[in-house]
Chains A and B, each alone.
Chain A
Amino acid sequence: MITQVWLDTDVLESNVDQMSSGVQNSDAFLLFLTRDYFASSFCQLELRQAWEKRIPIIIVRDQQQGGSDASLSDEIKRAKEGLKEDENKETLLEAMTHVS
């Protein structure tokens, strides 16, 4: 009997370095834009690193899951407001502005 157990996202914390390496060693960055993408701290991290490394960003937007343009703008606005004050905030804001 196969028991399907999904890892908790906490496990991902220990693999952030590998994820960062994945971003930096990729030729292009495909941003699959769905609802709450910008609210995810991991997605923010990936986007910021791609932006910093000047990796070409390809945006694919899911019209059904991504919601309307207005909701997307609101989401980005909320995400910007919710950003933590640190040295990466400006870079991330710049990346988000570019994507939006």
Chain B
Amino acid sequence: MRFDEFGQNSGRKPTTLQVSPDGVAQEVYPVAIAKKGFDFPAPSWPGVTCPADAWNLSYGSACLLCAPNTCQATDHRVGCIDGPPSSDYYSFTHTGCDGTTGPAVSFVWAFDALDESCNWLPAHGTLQQCSWAHPWAAWHVVILVVLSSLPLILLSFAAIRFRERFRQVVVATGDAQGQYTLLAYLIASLGALIHSVATPLAFIDSNTGNATEGMCIARTVVSFLAPAVVFLGITLRILAEAKAREGKPGRLAKYAGVQSSIEPTTTAKAFAAAQLFMFCAMVGSSAAVLSSVTGGPATIATNLTKEIGLDEESRTVEVALTVQMCCSIREFSWQSRVALLAPLLAMFLLSFVGHLSRGMHPSSGTLMLNLLITLLVVQFPTLDVFSTRAPIGLVIGWAALCSEVVHPVYKRWNQQSDDREWRIFDKGAPLEMPNPRRSGEQGWHLFLSHKWSTAQDQVQSLCPQLKLLVPSLKVWRMFKRPLALRPPKLRLGGPACRPQSRGLQSGSWSV
């Protein structure tokens, strides 16, 4: 086209297109290049599925003009539309949430609204699904929380390493080098760390929309590995205790009261073997189930369809998000969840029952906690997200740490082990007695029974000799003391040997 000084087209004829019933625009003017004749008046062709008085431009599928009696619209101007608009009218971008990561969709109209009475346009929207929305999920908080168990672990092992008395306790038992005991502590600590550190970290990005296949595999492995390693630690602890009782002095056999309270070594070993078998069965069957399940938790789900709201009248548009998330057991049926977690459930249940039958032990609490959590996950799969799995991992991790490492180390530290009490004389360890087992507030290692008239002299010598040999020995013996020192009364119990010894040295005793 060419325009003259009056703004008129001069010398060039304009080209005009008209849309035919098949939806194709064709030249109708100038005649020299016309592909078809001009149809007048221009109709709205039923074949292009546009309503009456609407217009189709043959590119795209939308009818740009609204029906009569609604808002007016022209090219590149959008008015009210009954129902959700087609995708020609908007665009969306996939971004992360502010300061964090996660699937977020910014919904933007392609055109401006023509009529201000259409108050829902433009209604640019944003859909956010940030799994990091919880405040304590910030990185620095997570790091502080998950690493909080480390000092306790280090403290426990420092106690093992530097407490000479503890090492002697270990050596004094049948576990000659203490390797089983230390290995049990190490494995249990590792399980606790996987629970309390690796689990939150594995779940932290699982719902952000940027998951990778490796991340999903790691999350699944951690979910099964953490309870398995703790269970292995418990098993090794039982084995270590059985080894420690090996070769228990035969002298115990004649004390029926003592003997009856000690579980036979063979029983403990059999229980440890059963635990080990359950562990292997769980690992094998879980691996088999995971590898055979299609769309299992170790795989990725993509292209989720989400709805985005546009106005207060619940107008919504479905947009396809390019989101990569790990498949979750939330999408599994109840039966599939049971099949997936059955090995874990069976292992904890059998072990828990076995522990109860052997008497109460802190490990029973840890096993019960694992059992309950697994049952909860089966029943309520929505728990399988970061905001719940992270605290659960921390709780189970701390429970395992306390029952399998801190408690036994503390017990050894206080020298209240029954094992040491009777074996200490066999291995040449220092002759120091633990607190009496029958202790209330007044407990004694030895009650020295004798007849005054025929054994007073001997006993008065025997008692200091015992105290010299075993300084911490508490002996109950009845004795007399001079009236001049105190009002006449019988002095009973504990310090029997000491005042007698002082009395002899000062010569105030007549024996």
* Interface set of A (CB-CB < 8 Å, partner B): 1-7, 9, 11-12, 15, 18-19, 21-32, 34-37, 39-40, 43, 46-47, 50, 53-56, 58, 60, 62, 65
Contacts and interface: CB of A to CB of B under 8 A. Distances in A.
B444 A40 contact: no
Contact of B455 (A53, A54, A62): A62
B248 interface: no
B483 A4 contact: yes
B447 A30 contact: yes
Interface residues of B, number: 42
Contact of B493 (A18, A35, A50, A58): A18
A15 B451 contact: no
Residue with the highest number of chain B CB atoms closer than 10 Å, among A3, A31, A54, A56: A56
B330 interface: no
Contact of B450 (A19, A22, A32): A32
Nearest to A57: B255
Contact of B478 (A19, A26, A58, A62): A19
CB-CB nearest 6 A-B residue pairs? A54-B257, A26-B447, A5-B483, A32-B450, A56-B255, A34-B454
Contact of B444 (A1, A2, A3, A25): A25
30 contacts: A4-B510, A5-B482, A5-B483, A5-B484, A6-B480, A7-B480, A7-B489, A7-B490, A12-B478, A18-B493, A23-B476, A24-B438, A25-B440, A25-B442, A26-B438, A26-B445, A26-B447, A27-B436, A27-B438, A30-B449, A32-B450, A32-B458, A34-B458, A36-B454, A39-B451, A53-B257, A54-B257, A56-B255, A60-B462, A65-B458
Contacts of B448: 30, 32
Interface in B372-391: none
Interface string B242-263: 0000000000001111100000
A83 B444 CA distance: 29
Contacts of B450: 32, 34, 37, 43
Contact of B476 (A22, A34, A62): A22
Contacts of B485: 2
Interface SS of B by simple majority: loop
A69 B215 CA distance: 82
Contacts of A55: 257, 438, 447
B446 interface: yes
B445 A28 contact: yes
Contacts of A35: 451, 454
B453, B454, B490 — most chain A CB neighbours (10 Å): B454
Contacts of A23: 447, 449, 476
B448 to A, nearest CB: 5
Contacts of B452: 9
B482 A2 contact: yes
A15 B489 CA distance: 10
Contacts of A32: 448-450, 455, 458-459, 462
B436 A25 contact: yes
A4 B450 CA distance: 22
Interface string B471-511: 00000101010111100111011000000000000001010
Interface in B422-465: 436-440, 442-455, 458-459, 462
B262 to A, nearest CB: 13
B434 to A, nearest CB: 10
A65 B454 contact: yes
Contacts of A19: 478, 492
A29 B448 CA distance: 6
Contacts of A31: 449
Nearest to B510: A4
A55 B255 CA distance: 8
A97 B488 CA distance: 38
Nearest to A56: B255
Contacts of B508: 2, 4
Nearest to A23: B447
Contacts of B255: 54, 56
